[in-house]
Amino acid sequence: MRDWWSPQSADEFKKRSQAVVNQYNEYEPLPGLHVNGELTQGENIADIGGVKLAYAALQKALDKHPEERTKKIDGLTPEQRFFLSFANIWRSKQRDEDLKLRLNVDPHSPAHYRVNGPLSDLPEFQKAF
């Protein structure tokens, strides 16, 4: 396979992806049990990129319809509704036994961290609230 990244791009990706690994390694869904940031790295990066891309699409849509930018529904701005909708898709209940198993084998972070992980890195989320 042909390596199409420059050495600088590859180094930057490694640096940034290691920061994601370190961030998720800190999450402790159960006492003494942490998310495996190495195992979940690819999906965590996808979650972060996905919410950033979706938010950019929202902003593009609002640019085309500026009158919607200030419209509140149930007291919430479009940005606030976007982030609440994102969080709601990951709402779930999980038994501790299942969570313990998945922490060892599932390449996806637990649902709670699929929300809090990406959103904690987005200044746009903080600005919205």
Residues 79-126: pLDDT tens digits?
A: 999 999 999 999 999 999 999 999 999 999 999 999 999 999 999 999
Supply the CATH number for residue 56's domain: 3.40.390.10
Q: Is residue 80 part of a domain?
A: yes
The end-to-end CA distance of the chain, in Å, is 45
User: What is the C-alpha separation between 65 and 71, in angstroms, rounded?
Assistant: 11
49: which residues sit within 8 A by CB, 6+ positions away? none
User: What is the C-alpha separation between 66 and 102, in angstroms, rounded?
Assistant: 44
Predicted TM-score (pTM) of the model is 0.91
Q: Is residue 2 part of a domain?
A: no
Q: Is residue 25 part of a domain?
A: yes
Q: Is residue 1 part of a domain?
A: no
Domain that holds residue 66: 7-128
Measured at the CA of 125, the angle between CA 56 and CA 64, to 5 degrees, comes to 30
